[in-house]
């Protein structure tokens, strides 16, 4: 099985491809989670419509039960998007 790479993007609220800016790429899920947490705390992203400390609290309660980053995770994350790709695989738009 190929190693998974997590890509963290900043984007508009509709998550359109032409507005995505790559912020971070990592094979470590926890590093991506920490980066998202920092973006929420700094109010550059929101989770479940909350930013700052309130957003971080909701994010921490909702994120750690996930075994992986899912569609539900991305639908709750605003102004950000996490894509998971396999190492060596071409990205599909």
Residue 48 lies in a domain: yes
Residue 27 lies in a domain: yes
Residue 2: predicted pLDDT = 82
Residue 20: predicted pLDDT = 95
CB 82 within 8 A of CB 74: yes
Residue 22 lies in a domain: yes
Question: Mind listing the pLDDT tens digit for each residue in 17-38?
Answer: 999 999 999 999 999 999 999 9
Residue 34 lies in a domain: yes
Residue 59 lies in a domain: yes
Give residue 68's domain range: 4-86
Domain count, the chain: 1
Question: Mind listing the pLDDT tens digit for each residue in 38-91?
Answer: 999 999 999 999 999 999 999 888 776 555 688 888 999 999 999 999 998 887
Residue 91 lies in a domain: no
Residues 6+ apart with CB under 8 A from 89: 2
Task: Please work out, in degrees rounded to the nearest 5, the angle formed at the alpha carbon of residue 85 by the alpha carbons of 6 and 40.
Answer: 30
Q: From the CB of residue 11, how many other CB atoms can be counted at a distance below 10 Å? A: 19
Residue 92 lies in a domain: no
Residue 71: predicted pLDDT = 85
Is the pLDDT reported for residue 4 higher than 80? yes
Residue 93 lies in a domain: no
């Amino acid at each position: 099985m190929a190693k998974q790479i997590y890509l963290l993007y900043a984007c508009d609220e509709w998550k359109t491809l032409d507005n995505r800016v790559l912020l971070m790429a990592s094979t470590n899920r926890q590093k991506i989670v920490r980066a998202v947490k920092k973006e929420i705390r700094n109010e550059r992203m929101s989770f479940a419509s909350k930013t700052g400390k309130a957003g971080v609290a909701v994010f921490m309660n909702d994120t750690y039960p996930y075994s992986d980053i899912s569609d539900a995770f991305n639908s709750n994350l605003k102004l950000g998007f996490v894509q998971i790709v396999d190492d060596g695989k071409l990205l599909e738009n």
